[in-house]
Amino acid sequence: MSLQPMKFVTVTGPLDTFDQVVRQCILNRQFHPESALQIIKLDKRLRPLDADNPAAPLLRQADSLLERLGMTPDYRPYPEEFTLEYCAHQMGQLGERLDELDRQADQLRQEAADDRHFIQQLERFSSINVDLESLRQLRHMVFRFGNMPEESYRSFREALEKREDCFFFPTKVEDGQVYGCYFALRRQEEVVDALFASMHFVQVPLSQRAEGTAEKAIEALAQEAEADDLSVERIAQQVQELAREEGEGLLMLRSWLCRENQVMDLRRYAARSQKTFCIMGWVPQDGWAEFEAQLEGFGGLDYVVDAPEETGVVPPSKLKTTSLGKIFEPFLKMYGLPNYNEYDPSTFMAVTYCLFFGIMFGDVGQGALLVACGLFMGMARGLWLGQIIACCGVSSTVFGFVYGSVFGFEDIIHGFKILEGDNVVYLLLASLGLGVAMIGYAMLMNICNGIRQRNFDKIFFGPNGLAGMVFYFGLIAAAVLALLDVVNLFQPVYVMLVLVLPLVVILFREPLTKLAQGDKQWKPASMGELLIGGFFELFETLLSFLTNTLSFLRVGAYAITHVALMLVVHALAGSGNLAVLVAGNLFVMGMESVMVCIQVLRLEFYEMFGRFYQNGGREFRPHVVDYSAKLH
């Protein structure tokens, strides 16, 4: 399947209509922009448009307001008469109201936190039943409350008890700290404070809000903290009410800003002269009629259409695939998008992936469960992997009927019983045959890509071109016929023409390619370097033919492994242990489906894609407004 053909379009018009042209004709259309200044480098009359984007900071402000209101970004229809100034004014007013509510809530939270912190301190002082205010108003004495390390207290305890100018009263020992208070004569205040400071005494000031005894103060502060918490909850309710009142209007503003942000972002692709603008980009064939109709409908615009080969710019790749290929696109993108001059392998990958999965994991019951799991993941959870799992489950179910296996029971329906007779050998030979066919198809795809790219190396001289194809299939045909004792093709003429000559062509592929292209410098600079480098490359080619072919044995091997695992499950379940049977089926289905998925992906990427798929394409990216995405 080929990629979507592209047209390169250059649109020009009056400079003051640029934003409106973008809104009506380019945004949300199938138009992939290119930098006009990078393409038209020699025209000194062109200069960039104003690249400032005043919509971006306002869009970030709208996202921030939505987050503060507890709302998610979403699209709302908006009037065209909105302006940036109006949006800034409306969001500024809403932001001020939220700022005031946040300030009040922060202040209340801080007061509640301070109250609870002081309650913790007072709880260590609660054993003293003294009015706190009286302690603050002592005339001839000073009062201090705090804590010191228990080790310091023990060291200085005897010395403190002998002093007549102060008295320390411990109230509680907790976490290696001694909490308590001391009284000192006011005339000795500095001396006593210095003494306790040397013992690492940390003073805890008594808050003016604490009144009465410590127990009463604790009760009062706890009530105040609870009252502050209730006030914070009421403010949260006010924010929710504000979201109900202003949320729809904010979403309208944000939707308009999303559109304007994309409009202004497209300025960086455009160029301008004194009175006109110029914007360039790619339009796919299937979107050209609609795009041209928009340009014609706008009026006053000129546009020029060029073929891709006339631009000197590599077109982006837009996959033109089937519904099945669309499902497997995420796997394809893991390897890389095809470039514009390659065929789209997504449908080929989808078909072969399902085929390999079904052969390696064929079971009617487990396949049906995979279909159900995949549909749930795809439809209920919106996961792209769910659709792939569902397709693989269908293939597994089909091959389950071929093998006659239902949850490992092979006596329910007839089929190809893998472990009966010589079926294991037949299955492994069929796997090798399938591998040969797949490698041959990959070579054919490489030749088709070479024809499209006019690359003689890919068509004729490379290991995946005609030379490699002749050698590979010539060797396999001769070996198979000899093993079957049909005819011995390993004769001098056959060996020289079908086996040796293609290898010589591959060895000299570089100068032969240059010669076919008409390059006068086709002769190699050093024959020795060519032969040495070519020899190692030829050895790697022969090794890859062998390893890639044998690698397909894993297709049959996993089918055999699946049957063996289910035999173990049935042996453990005995004559009727349903729990073991269910658990065993779930375990085998989960473990083996993951392993098979990985192994099939390896076959696709290494054994087949490496032979014909160059990738390196650019994704087709039109500017489409995503109203649910936040601006980073």
Q: Which of 153, 619, 612, 568 has its CA nearest to residue 340?
A: 619
Structure tokens at 42: 């020699």
DSSP states along 357-401: HHHHT--HHHHHHHHHHHHIIIIIS--HHHHHHHHHHHHHHHHHH
Structure tokens at 97: 């109201």
SS3 270: coil
Q: Which residues contact 446 (CB under 8 A, 6 or more apart)?
A: 458, 462, 464, 465, 611, 612
8 Å CB contact between 266 and 278: no
8 Å CB contact between 24 and 31: no
CA dist 143 and 325 (Å) reads 83
Query: Which amino acid is located at 177 in the chain?
Result: Q
Question: HSE on the CB side for 282, CA within 13 Å?
Answer: 25
What letter would DSSP give residue 574? T
Virtual CA dihedral for 221, 225, 226, 228, nearest 10 degrees?
A: 140
CA dist 389 and 392 (Å) reads 5
8 Å CB contact between 272 and 61: no
Cβ density class 35-49: b for 16+ within 10 Å, e for less: bbbebeeeeeebeeb
Query: Which amino acid is located at 577 in the chain?
Result: N
Query: Which amino acid is located at 626 in the chain?
Result: D
Phi, psi angles (nearest 5°) of residue 419: -90, 5
Write the pLDDT tens digit of every residue in 426-485: 999 999 999 999 999 999 999 999 998 888 989 999 899 999 999 999 999 999 999 888
Q: Which of 364, 370, 261, 360 has its CA nearest to residue 623?
A: 261
pLDDT for the residue 42: 60
- What are the sequence ranges of the domains in the chain? 130-212, 323-612
Positive or negative CA dihedral for 24, 28, 29, 35?
Answer: positive
CA dist 608 and 585 (Å) reads 32
8 Å CB contact between 166 and 188: yes
8 Å CB contact between 146 and 204: yes
CA dist 530 and 125 (Å) reads 93
What letter would DSSP give residue 300? S
List 154's β-bridge partners, or say none. none
**CATH for the stretch 130-212:** 3.30.70.2750
Question: HSE on the CB side for 421, CA within 13 Å?
Answer: 6
8 Å CB contact between 465 and 447: yes
pLDDT for the residue 77: 93
DSSP states along 207-249: PTT--SSHHHHHHHHHHHHHHHHHHHHHHHHHHHHHHHHHHHH
Q: What does each C-alpha distance from 327 to 10, 12, 344, 372, 384 come to in angstroms?
A: 34, 38, 14, 17, 7
8 Å CB contact between 340 and 363: no
8 Å CB contact between 314 and 39: no
pLDDT for the residue 549: 93
Positive or negative CA dihedral for 245, 248, 254, 260?
Answer: negative
Phi, psi angles (nearest 5°) of residue 9: -115, 135
pLDDT for the residue 209: 63
Q: What does each C-alpha distance from 557 to 90, 220, 418, 561, 603 come to in angstroms?
A: 67, 77, 11, 6, 14
What letter would DSSP give residue 30? S
Residues of the chain with pLDDT under 50: none
How many Cβ atoms from other residues are within 10 Å of residue 190's Cβ?
A: 10
What letter would DSSP give residue 52? -
Positive or negative CA dihedral for 129, 135, 139, 141?
Answer: positive
Query: Which amino acid is located at 135 in the chain?
Result: L
pLDDT for the residue 126: 63
What letter would DSSP give residue 205? P
CA dist 90 and 88 (Å) reads 6
Q: Which of 281, 254, 275, 262 has its CA nearest to residue 53?
A: 262
Write the pLDDT tens digit of every residue in 468-524: 999 999 999 999 999 888 888 888 899 999 999 999 998 888 888 888 888 777 787
CA dist 270 and 277 (Å) reads 7
How many Cβ atoms from other residues are within 10 Å of residue 50's Cβ?
A: 10
Residue written as token pair 């490699």: 468
